[in-house]
Structure 1
Amino acid sequence: MTHQHFDIVVSGGGIAGLTAAAAFGQAGFSVLCVDPTPPVTERDVAGSDLRTTAFLQPARSLLQDAGLWARLEDHAAPLQTMRIVDAGGAEPKPRVIKDFDAADISDLPFGWNLPNWLLRREMVAHLNEMPTVDLRLGVSSTDLFTRQAEARVQLSDGTTVTCKLVVAADGRNSTIRQKAGIDVKTTRYGQKALALAVTHPIPHENVSTEIHRSGGPFTLVPLPDFEGKPSSALVWMERSARAHELFDLPEEAFNAAMTERSCTLFGPLTLASRRTIWPIISQIADRFASERVALIAETAHVVPPIGAQGLNTSLGDLKVLLDLAVEQPDTIGGREILAKYDQKRRSDVAMRIKGIDLLNRASMAQSPILRNARAAGLQALYGMAPVRKMLMQMGLGAK
């Protein structure tokens, strides 16, 4: 039996997987990208992903090189300022407000925010136009066999393909990772995140606002206007029981709860989409590569949605892997390249996960003593200009 052969098989059609397919295809490699579930590409239908992704500066550069940014730029809301608010006093009112302005370190915004459902729509349309990419939606990877020279991937439609490299981007419960025999370490916080869109009377002025009280951060990220009103994406992290209570509230009561938790910084908040709810975990794979297989994105690591680090860290994986492949195109998927990829990425990701874990635990703090310590820490960090600049550069992925 003759098997179809590709340079690269990308298993997983989330945002990271679709970006990987575009990036490798643009670099001249033949790519097959598969995903069992065709993406929902409309805002207000069942199953749409109402979360948003803030692409930081390095991520935008990768999207430009992959040929994707031209399709996305007109839909993006720039993030010029990151505002951190501590509201940990007796009442939900701001005690400390600190702004981190991108102008302090760059001529560009920190990043650009886009809805996930729209990202999938534009990325799928782009991949369907690429002669180097075969996109098969409704098809999954079911089995994997590797040897020194190539990998063989069994697909759910009964076909088998061979390739030089399998890029595993099939999520936190990855089939490819399991077939490759790679374990993960998982931390559960007892939290969930509500993700939705809101409108508000006070313009956001391209400021991303993260409000800390207890249970987890309450983050409003700029979106383009919706139905003529200023709009933001909201990610509201709370302990699981409270998150489910909020999820089930009648709309009027939910709007009131959102407005109170926001310290009314943008005036009354009004729900402008469905509510969705997501579990919060941290997870990291024991290694990011095995024979002919590289793990990227949530297959390799999962972090709480704080500081726009999730997908941007995932695209950091892709950038390293792509650069190695372009430098040595004849040996992609080889032992040397994958060893370098694992070495470069796992230590950096592990450090970021520890940092985000500490931030999340600090944001969850319920006792007044810990809340006061969090406020004092924010004041101290902001007050030291070199430290403030370093934190902003680290947030962008700069070394």
Structure 2
Amino acid sequence: MADSCDILISGGGIAGLIAAATFGAAGFDVICVDPTPPVTARDDAGADLRTTAILQPAKALLQVAGIWAYLESHAAPLEVMRIIDAGGAEPEARVVKDFKSADISDQPFGWNLPNWLLRRELLARLNELDRVDFRPGLGTANLFTRTQSAQVTLSDGTQVSARLVLACDGRDSPMRRAANIPVRTTRYGQKALAFAVIHDLPHQNVSTEIHRSGGPFTLVPLPDHDGKPSSAIVWMERGPRAQALHQMEADDFEVEMNRRSCGALGQLRLASRRSIWPIISQSAARMSGERVALMAEAAHVVPPIGAQGLNMSLGDLRVLLDLAQSRPERLGDATMMEAYHKARHGDILMRVKGIDLLNRTSMLSPRPLRDLRAFGLNALYSLAPVRKTLMQMGLGVK
């Protein structure tokens, strides 16, 4: 006999775990599966060393789901977004512009947390929720849908009957493929390095994005590490250069890292191992199919610019939750799935295209084009209404 639930979530990454906690707290019966058990300690093999910024609108959702109480004490506020253009002959800051959260709100832009820690605290929240059954070590294998329900076969042969299948299973989503929803993918020939550092100067809750060529070098505030100021870094470069950096001895890598940082936080020293992953943009042709909703990287993938990735995912979740709670008897039916697609698809396409443009601009190599980029940054910043609108759009409130 098949197990049954209201919602089967395929994928137990950060987005999937948040979705499980949110729907469980809202009174829905949830089963969440992921073939890879979460790694929840910073220095364990496989730990995700990237960080995630929880922006203002996302915080409200996490509070309702009872998640924010687990995260608040670990979070580093993001009060200033600093953009530096270092596209001159030498890697030196030539244009520095600060976008301040105080200009549009009495709260920070967001709060930054390491991904491994997010997973740890989300699991702690799930353990409190009787309506959530998390099954790490299991994946989804097959999908069969009817107008009234979906039947999912798990990797151990177990069958689960659900009213809604929520695909949070990554850019190669097996549930998206099973639902025959195509995707459009853009490859940039870039890779990103992620690692943590300690540094001489306090970050003062400023997230700093340095543009030269190959992609941005971004320093994001973290809580102090071993009593010293600490930041997470995402360093995007063209593939061969990124691979060479990843393979360097630590001492040589630190030399290159400090040169690329333009001394923004003084001397940087590695405080973690380095991870590397490819950069793509991707968007699904539809956000839904019969009894299936796509969310997070199953629906959209963007380069790590402007803290948009998870916050776009939580935008998906807000819409799904609102639809599910407004008409719970219609959970997963064709009307709900069509409403979800219409509510999210246009905004996602706009953001994917916008971040694609920002990334291509950050990759510029020819000096005249880098000079034009610096001119554009100055022009946008000098127009206060434009600057305010850009900040609001980044938060997802316009």
Q: Which bin holds the TM-score, normalised by the shorter protein? A: over 0.9
Partner of 1:101: 100
Q: Deviations over 1:209-238 (max 9, x none)?
A: 000000000000000000111000000000
1-structure distance, mates of 2:279, 2:23: 30
2-structure distance, mates of 1:100, 1:32: 41
2-structure distance, mates of 1:19, 1:62: 10
Partner of 1:302: 301
Q: TM-score, normalised by structure 2?
A: 0.99
2-structure distance, mates of 1:45, 1:328: 43
Is 1:332 paired with 2:331? yes
1:364 maps to a residue whose letter is M
1-structure distance, mates of 2:239, 2:17: 31
How far residue 125 of structure 1 moved from its aligned partner, in angstroms, is 1.8
How far residue 128 of structure 1 moved from its aligned partner, in angstroms, is 1.9
1:94 aligned counterpart, secondary structure:
coil
1:391 aligned counterpart, secondary structure:
helix
1:321 aligned counterpart, secondary structure:
helix
- Tell me if the contact between 1:40 and 1:117 (Cα under 8 Å) persists in the aligned partners: yes
1:372 maps to a residue whose letter is D
2:45 aligned counterpart, secondary structure:
coil
Is 1:396 paired with 2:395? yes
Partner of 1:113: 112
Is 1:356 paired with 2:355? yes
Partner of 1:79: 78
1-structure distance, mates of 2:249, 2:160: 50
- Tell me if the contact between 1:171 and 1:297 (Cα under 8 Å) persists in the aligned partners: yes
1-structure distance, mates of 2:297, 2:3: 28
Question: For residues 114-193 of structure 1, what are the structure 2 equivalents within 5 Å?
Answer: 114-193=113-192
1-structure distance, mates of 2:258, 2:160: 52
Partner of 1:236: 235
How many residue pairs match? The answer is: 398
Partner of 1:67: 66
1:360 aligned counterpart, secondary structure:
helix
Of the structure 1 ranges 125-134 and 219-228, higher mean CA displacement relative to structure 2 is found in: 125-134
2:138 aligned counterpart, secondary structure:
coil
How far residue 146 of structure 1 moved from its aligned partner, in angstroms, is 0.3
Is 1:245 paired with 2:244? yes
Partner of 2:321: 322
4+ residue runs of structure 1 moved beyond 6 angstroms? Answer: none
Q: Deviations over 1:295-341 (max 9, x none)?
A: 00000000000000011101111111111111111101011111010
Question: For residues 192-203 of structure 1, what are the structure 2 equivalents within 5 Å?
Answer: 192-203=191-202
How far residue 62 of structure 1 moved from its aligned partner, in angstroms, is 1.1
How far residue 198 of structure 1 moved from its aligned partner, in angstroms, is 0.4
Q: Deviations over 1:107-135 (max 9, x none)?
A: 00000000000011111121122101001
2:248 maps to a residue whose letter is L
Alpha-carbon RMSD: 0.6
1:300 maps to a residue whose letter is A
Partner of 1:274: 273
2-structure distance, mates of 1:247, 1:159: 41
Is 1:51 paired with 2:50? yes
Percent identical pairs in the alignment equals 66
How far residue 88 of structure 1 moved from its aligned partner, in angstroms, is 0.3
1-structure distance, mates of 2:38, 2:2: 27
- Tell me if the contact between 1:280 and 1:304 (Cα under 8 Å) persists in the aligned partners: yes
2-structure distance, mates of 1:218, 1:326: 41
How far residue 38 of structure 1 moved from its aligned partner, in angstroms, is 0.4
2:245 aligned counterpart, secondary structure:
helix
How far residue 161 of structure 1 moved from its aligned partner, in angstroms, is 0.8
1:366 maps to a residue whose letter is S
Of the structure 1 ranges 122-131 and 108-117, higher mean CA displacement relative to structure 2 is found in: 122-131
2-structure distance, mates of 1:340, 1:187: 27
2-structure distance, mates of 1:118, 1:190: 30
- Tell me if the contact between 1:194 and 1:278 (Cα under 8 Å) persists in the aligned partners: yes
Gaps of 5+ in 2: none
2-structure distance, mates of 1:321, 1:44: 35
Partner of 1:262: 261
2-structure distance, mates of 1:109, 1:157: 45
- Tell me if the contact between 1:12 and 1:170 (Cα under 8 Å) persists in the aligned partners: yes
Q: Deviations over 1:244-266 (max 9, x none)?
A: 11111111111111111010111
2-structure distance, mates of 1:36, 1:232: 30
2:251 maps to a residue whose letter is E
2-structure distance, mates of 1:375, 1:324: 44
2-structure distance, mates of 1:166, 1:45: 31
1-structure distance, mates of 2:376, 2:325: 43
Is 1:292 paired with 2:273? no
Gaps of 5+ in 1: none
2:92 aligned counterpart, secondary structure:
coil
1:318 maps to a residue whose letter is L
How far residue 61 of structure 1 moved from its aligned partner, in angstroms, is 1.0
1:391 maps to a residue whose letter is L
2-structure distance, mates of 1:294, 1:265: 43
- Tell me if the contact between 1:218 and 1:236 (Cα under 8 Å) persists in the aligned partners: yes
- Tell me if the contact between 1:256 and 1:269 (Cα under 8 Å) persists in the aligned partners: no
1:357 aligned counterpart, secondary structure:
helix
Partner of 2:24: 25
1-structure distance, mates of 2:68, 2:257: 33
Partner of 1:217: 216
2-structure distance, mates of 1:111, 1:184: 30
Q: Deviations over 1:76-101 (max 9, x none)?
A: 00000000000000010011000000
2:339 aligned counterpart, secondary structure:
helix
1-structure distance, mates of 2:315, 2:381: 27
